[in-house]
Structure 1
Amino acid sequence: MKLLIRNGHVIDAKSGLDKVTDILVEDGQIIEIGDRIDSTGCEIIEAEGMYVVPGLVDAHCHLRDPGQEYKEDIESGTRSAAKGGFTSVACMPNTSPVLDNEAMIKYVINKAKSDGMVNVYPIGALSKGLKGEELSEIGELKFAGAVALSDDGRPVNNSSLMKKALQYASMFDITIISHCEDLDLVDEGLMNEGYYSSILGLKGNPAPAEEVMIARDLILAEYTRATVHIAHVSTELGVDLIRNAKRRGVSVTAETCPHYFSLTDMACEGFNTNAKVNPPLRTQKDVDAIIEGLKDGTIDIISTDHAPHHLDEKNVEFKQAANGMVGFETAFPLAITCLVKPGHLSLRQLVSKMCLNPAKMLGLNKGTIEVGFSADLMIFNIDEKFTVDITRLESKSKNSPFHGYELYGQPQYTIVGGNPVVRAGQIV
């Protein structure tokens, strides 16, 4: 099948392409990029007035499959991802059973092939059972198809284990994604420690709980000459630590999530459990620092940390509520609205952080628009406004604090391997 995307404004961070042109797709691959391509025998998507970018790549999400399918499964999660413009997602291993062996990695890969709407790449557990006591068989996970290693949802408290993990991961050329959290400092904190935790009477989770572990992992990465990826950075000092480490030549990449540049801990007012995440929402000062880190390149990647939870796990007292929010369908519009529209990032910079850089960190041949590459594409109108309605999310779970928000940049077409799976903003 031939597909012609005509007269769209194509933005590609790798090649620097930034102009109105056509893209011809055949048998799932991009075969030509140029002006006035012959449309004979083609299905045509008229993209005039819209932007065409690489399909988004999410380096950090939770599909809850296997074991927690009442929250999400690979089918529903990838439908949600597709509607949000994502064509490739990497899912965390905190499932039941944990993704800590070859069989579980293969389970995700095979189920994604049969049920998935987008490309799914499993992240293997750094430690067996996510217990932080014994390393998983890193080589086995890598050769089975794991694209990274993480104990996300939990920190690796044992510094000796983390040092060994970095050394072994370096041998197998696979990246460790670190969830940075000192549990002794967290001390059962429920939200950011500060003004709003005080007025709500909730135990605070202080910024140093995150920053101490970021510092430790940067020191270990520098010592072992290994690469570490710091997940969901949320604090001003965390950004500074990573910035200084990069200046010293430490091999580190970092991500943040849309809620850390669009919300503060004020969102927890009224004991709003949909704003309860980990790490917690911080202060405006931290939000400003996150945006500055995105602008100057300290933060390489924007991930969703899509974390679906059943209503029963959120519709409880704040203390008992699960951490996390769904993010696939709001991530890109939040980035357009909060970063591109105000002039913090150019569209090309955003494409780097949501397409090219996550693909590079995960070792994927994705995130770019070039002849010979898979036709994973997304088309959107940057000036069209829409209102977030959580009842219309494709995810099984609806735990989002963004209900009713007016945002720009809702994906209109998502194309996976040359196949349009979203048209006019709706799942095909």
Structure 2
Amino acid sequence: MILIKGGRVVDPKSGLDEMRDIVLEGEEIKYIGRFQETEEYEKVIDAEGMIIAPGLIDAHVHFRDPGFTYKEDIETGAKSAARGGFTTVVCMANTNPVIDNTETLKYVLEKGESTPINIKAVGTVSKNLEGRELTDMKSLFEGGAVGFSDDGIPLMNAEFLHEAMLSVKKLNVPISLHEEDISLIGRQGINNGIVSNKLGFKGAPSVSESSIIARDTMLALDTKAKVHIQHLSAAESVEVIRLAKQMGAKLTAEVTPQHFSLTEYAVLENGTLAKVNPPLRTLKDKYALIEGLKDGTIDIIVTDHAPHSDEEKARSMKDALSGMIGLETSLALGITNLVRKGHLTMMELLEKMTIAPAKLYDFNSGYLSEGGKADLVIFDDEEQWEVRDFSSKSSNSPFIGNTLFGKVKYTICNGEIVYSDTLV
């Protein structure tokens, strides 16, 4: 057994926020209370001055496996996740081959079982991500897919998407949508505005996102399907989702730390490391996203962990690939830019990183209770640290060199210590 002693237990599901000890036995939480340190415990973790919370859940990662393992693979992605406090992640399906068949899905899930964390995956909505023919969703679901997404490529055909929503409704799983109208975009990855003008090209205007979200939220309202809107970036998008939820659509929405932490000017400071789809936008957009988190319009915080090689990011601004890694900085960015600035409480931040993503996919995790899963993160919310190195294969992060608050000390998954900062 493991005794975690003297920490502040914060559990968003029950609302518990008190000094407690936790006893782990096997893969379960045996007791939550006050306990003496005795020889019966194989290990005692001194959590004084730290927060004990449910293991974080990331509903949106790219582990690039199969097909692009020079950027990341399932093993290194899992190590990166554990270092960031995540015990469960959901892999997107835009691999090579894409997860539009049960064979590729089986490969991802079986390889995930060999890692120390819980690896889940979605299947694609369309065959080969072409947006024309639906995958065999029933077979993929029965094979273990927790939902469906063509993330990385917008679904532009409304009739096709309407049909897809009706299909996922039958399975009672979410469809997750990457919302950009390509016809309105010059070059992806950079906001169309002051910064793109300085760089000499048309970028991606906010209307390219908000207009397609407006269409798709109405499709969601019509079909009554579970629709999840991915990586919001624009103020107008938040307003559209707020309205659609009020109208009764079964919507959830997510935002990344980069979008609530940075603006488009990060492109001028960090170059291609700040190039991401959808792009970093204006200060107005950033604060609208934060307001959406505060009032519940935005349900979930994800990383959209998107590893790329140094060479792929060393290209010109026009040619460099979009995306950044995020698993190892996500919690700290939330603490630094949301909690310490008074936008969210610690309970609210953790709710959006634990029980909310668990609810999206109906996972029996994201909470702390006796008899529940022994998936936990222990972190010091007051400790400052400098972003320097990563367990990911890639290092495409604009936060390198930043000093953040909130250091993960232990990650425990299925009752096993899968990360300790003393071992890095």
TM range (shorter): over 0.9
User: What is the 5 A alignment of 1:68-83?
Assistant: 68-83=68-83
User: What is the 5 A alignment of 1:62-141?
Assistant: 62-114=62-114, 116-141=115-140
- The answer on whether the counterparts of 1:300 and 1:353 sit within 8 Å (CA) in structure 2 is yes
Query: What residue identity is the alignment partner of 1:348?
Result: M
Q: Report the equivalent of 1:263.
A: 262
- The whole-number CA distance in structure 2 between the counterparts of 1:142 and 1:397 is 31
Query: What residue identity is the alignment partner of 1:202?
Result: F
Is 2:45 aligned against 1:48? no
- The whole-number CA distance in structure 1 between the counterparts of 2:301 and 2:185 is 24
Summarize deviations over 1:330-372 as a string: whole Å, max 9, x none: 1110000000011110111111100000011011111000111
Q: Report the equivalent of 1:245.
A: 244
- The answer on whether the counterparts of 2:189 and 2:322 sit within 8 Å (CA) in structure 1 is no
- The answer on whether the counterparts of 1:22 and 1:37 sit within 8 Å (CA) in structure 2 is no
Q: CA deviation at 1:101?
A: 1.1
Q: CA deviation at 1:38?
A: 5.8
- The answer on whether the counterparts of 1:82 and 1:414 sit within 8 Å (CA) in structure 2 is yes
Question: 3-state SS of the aligned residue for 1:411?
Answer: strand
- The whole-number CA distance in structure 2 between the counterparts of 1:35 and 1:300 is 33
Question: 3-state SS of the aligned residue for 1:25?
Answer: strand
Question: 3-state SS of the aligned residue for 2:71?
Answer: coil
Q: CA deviation at 1:143?
A: 0.7
Query: What residue identity is the alignment partner of 2:421?
Result: A
C-alpha change, 1:84 and 1:426, in structure 2 (3 Å) is farther
Question: 3-state SS of the aligned residue for 2:381?
Answer: coil
Q: Quick one: percent identity of the two aligned structures?
A: 47
Summarize deviations over 1:228-265 as a string: whole Å, max 9, x none: 00000011000011111111111100000000010000
What's the TM-score once normalised by structure 1's chain length?
Answer: 0.97
Q: How many residues align?
A: 423
Please point out which of 403, 415, 419 is paired with 1:418. Answer: 415
- The whole-number CA distance in structure 1 between the counterparts of 2:187 and 2:103 is 34
Q: CA deviation at 1:195?
A: 1.0
What's the TM-score once normalised by structure 2's chain length?
Answer: 0.98
Which ranges of 4 or more aligned residues in structure 1 deviate by more than 4 Å? none
C-alpha change, 1:58 and 1:204, in structure 2 (3 Å) is same
Q: Report the equivalent of 1:339.
A: 338
Is 2:284 aligned against 1:285? yes
User: What is the 5 A alignment of 1:161-240?
Assistant: 161-240=160-239
- The whole-number CA distance in structure 1 between the counterparts of 2:124 and 2:423 is 34
- The whole-number CA distance in structure 1 between the counterparts of 2:422 and 2:99 is 33
- The whole-number CA distance in structure 1 between the counterparts of 2:288 and 2:323 is 22
Summarize deviations over 1:205-237 as a string: whole Å, max 9, x none: 100001111111100000111110000001100
C-alpha change, 1:94 and 1:425, in structure 2 (3 Å) is farther
Q: CA RMSD in A?
A: 1.1
C-alpha change, 1:246 and 1:426, in structure 2 (3 Å) is farther
- The answer on whether the counterparts of 1:83 and 1:425 sit within 8 Å (CA) in structure 2 is no
- The answer on whether the counterparts of 2:172 and 2:226 sit within 8 Å (CA) in structure 1 is no
- The answer on whether the counterparts of 1:226 and 1:251 sit within 8 Å (CA) in structure 2 is yes
- The whole-number CA distance in structure 2 between the counterparts of 1:191 and 1:119 is 33
Q: Report the equivalent of 1:13.
A: 12
The gaps in structure 1 that reach 5 residues or longer are none
C-alpha change, 1:425 and 1:57, in structure 2 (3 Å) is farther
Q: CA deviation at 1:271?
A: 7.0
Question: 3-state SS of the aligned residue for 2:382?
Answer: coil
Is 2:393 aligned against 1:400? no
C-alpha change, 1:270 and 1:25, in structure 2 (3 Å) is closer
Summarize deviations over 1:160-193 as a string: whole Å, max 9, x none: 1100111110101110000001110124344101
The gaps in structure 2 that reach 5 residues or longer are none
C-alpha change, 1:316 and 1:271, in structure 2 (3 Å) is farther
Q: CA deviation at 1:39?
A: 3.6
Q: Report the equivalent of 2:142.
A: 143
Q: CA deviation at 1:37?
A: 5.1
- The answer on whether the counterparts of 1:275 and 1:400 sit within 8 Å (CA) in structure 2 is yes
C-alpha change, 1:343 and 1:39, in structure 2 (3 Å) is farther
- The whole-number CA distance in structure 2 between the counterparts of 1:46 and 1:26 is 17
| Segment of structure 1 superposing worse, 256-265 or 192-201 | 192-201
Q: CA deviation at 1:200?
A: 2.0
Q: CA deviation at 1:317?
A: 0.4
Query: What residue identity is the alignment partner of 2:401?
Result: G
- The whole-number CA distance in structure 1 between the counterparts of 2:211 and 2:102 is 33
Query: What residue identity is the alignment partner of 1:159?
Result: A
Query: What residue identity is the alignment partner of 1:401?
Result: P
Q: CA deviation at 1:24?
A: 0.6
Is 2:364 aligned against 1:348? no
